[in-house]
Amino acid sequence: MNEKGIVERPGQLLSRLEFYRDLGVEFLVSPMKTDSRKREAEVGTGLLKPEGFSGGPAADDREEWDRLIRRIMACQACPLFKGRTQAVPGEGHRQASLMFVGEAPGRDEDLQGRPFVGRAGQLLTKIIQAMGFSREEVYIANVIKCRPPENRTPRPDEIKACSPYLLRQIDLIKPRVIVALGKVATDFLLPSSKSMSELRGQFGDFQGIPVMPTFHPSYLVRNEGNKEIKKMVWEDMKKVLQLLKS
Ligand code: SF4
């Protein structure tokens, strides 16, 4: 049974367990144990923010979020609006302790209006679940909100035009930790000339928020048979969990 209480077919369950084995996950938290007492314990350890936590009055935040999402959906600040089916603002818990930031929507995301729902997204979901969270308990967004043609890397002018939306999301959520998925998100949050291999696994700082750079899930998809890359990503996520528990 998955975290939504849906019974998985044996093949689906096997593929999920194989992925966890390749990651190097040593144990799994049963979703059935994610009851209210566990939530309280997690809030106590800092894994989840308490309900009602926010950087400001909740009603004001709701209005601010609504305004922000409306602006993103109608945005024409860069040429990418011309090719989109719809913008993909991001989704998840608006008071999440843990935020994931990727590069830009791909084809599936553009069609569905949701971040990380293609093959790479399915891997990210498994990683989030292996960390003991559901997608609904974290926030997932991209630096760029509209799909670049043929999934090309976003250009600097596009990042400059779109990044205020991500900055506002970070400001509203105030996560305890951000995971930067891949080079575009890492370069935006932690500018440097270093490669992902040099940067991953070490916390950087974005305006006082610890940022863990790690490989983008699409890199895992492209290197599906490479268990070492999966293990590196899981090592990075273990550091994130340690920080959240501290
Ligand atoms: S990518 Fe960002 S800046 Fe460009 S049109 Fe879409 S929402 Fe606006």
The response to whether residue 160 sits with its C-beta less than 6 Å from ligand 1 reads no
Output the pTM of the full model. 0.84
Kindly report, residue by residue over 166-191, the tens digit of the pLDDT: 999 999 999 999 999 999 999 999 99
Token readout for 201 is 């696994």
Residue with CA nearest ligand 1 atom 3: 162
What is the per-residue pLDDT for 27? 57
88: Cβ below 6 Å to ligand 1?
no
Nearest-CA neighbor of 143 among 157, 161, 155, 159?
159
Q: Structural domain boundaries of the chain?
A: 10-245
Helices then strands, each counted (H, E), the chain: 10, 6
The CA 90 to ligand 1 mean position distance, Å, reads 13
- In the reported structure, the alpha carbon of residue 76 is separated from the centroid of ligand 1 by a whole-number distance in angstroms of 6
Q: In the beta sheet, which residues pair with residue 205?
A: 210
CATH architecture of 10-245: 3-Layer(aba) Sandwich (3.40)
Ligand 1 and 81: CB distance under 6 A: yes
Structure tokens at 179: 């995971």
More reliable by pLDDT, 107 or 19: 107
User: What is the 58 CA–ligand 1 centroid distance (Å)?
Assistant: 27
Q: Which of 208, 229, 188 is nearest to 102 (CA)?
A: 188
Structure-model confidence comparison of residues 51 and 74, the more confident one: 74
Distance separating alpha carbons of residues 61 and 74, to the nearest angstrom:
20
Dihedral of alpha carbons 206, 227, 221, 113, sign: negative
pLDDT one-digit tens code per residue, 106-160? 999 999 999 999 999 999 999 999 999 999 999 999 999 999 999 999 999 999 9
- CA of residue 119 to ligand 1 center, whole Å: 23
